[in-house]
Amino acid sequence: MTVDIVAPGWHLAGSPVAQPHGADEELVWRFMQELTTNDAEKLGTWFSDDAMYQNMPLPPAHGREAVTGMLAGLFTVMRIEKVETFHICSRDGLVLTEREDLLTAIPTGKSVALPILGVVSVRDGLITGWRDYFDLRAFEEAVEMSLRG
124 included as an active-site residue: no
| Contacts with 38 (C-beta within 8 Å, 6 or more apart), sequence order | 75, 79, 80
Instruction: Establish if 132 lies at the interface with ligand HPN (CB under 6 A).
Output: yes
List helix spans (H) across the chain. Answer: 22-34, 40-44, 64-74, 136-143
Query: Toward ligand HPN, which CB reaches closer, 4 or 15?
Result: 4
CB of 21 to ligand HPN, least distance (A): 22
Instruction: Establish if 52 lies at the interface with ligand HPN (CB under 6 A).
Output: no
Backbone angles phi, psi at 15, to 5 degrees: -80, 155
CB of 14 to ligand HPN, least distance (A): 26
CB of 138 to ligand HPN, least distance (A): 9
Q: How many chain residues are in contact with ligand HPN, going by CB under 6 A?
A: 9
Neighbours of 3 (CB within 10 A): 15
Q: Are strands 78-91 and 126-133 parallel, antiparallel or unpaired?
A: unpaired
101 included as an active-site residue: yes
Per-residue b/e over 39-71, b at no fewer than 16 CB within 10 Å? ebeebbebbbeebbbbbeeeeebeebebbbebb
Pick from 27, 31, 48, 55: which binds ligand HPN (CB under 6 A)?
55
List binders of ligand HPN among 69-128 (CB under 6 A): 74, 80, 101, 103, 116
Q: Which residues are known catalytic residues? A: 101, 132
Chain residues that interact with ligand HPN, rule: CB under 6 A: 55, 74, 80, 101, 103, 116, 132, 139, 147
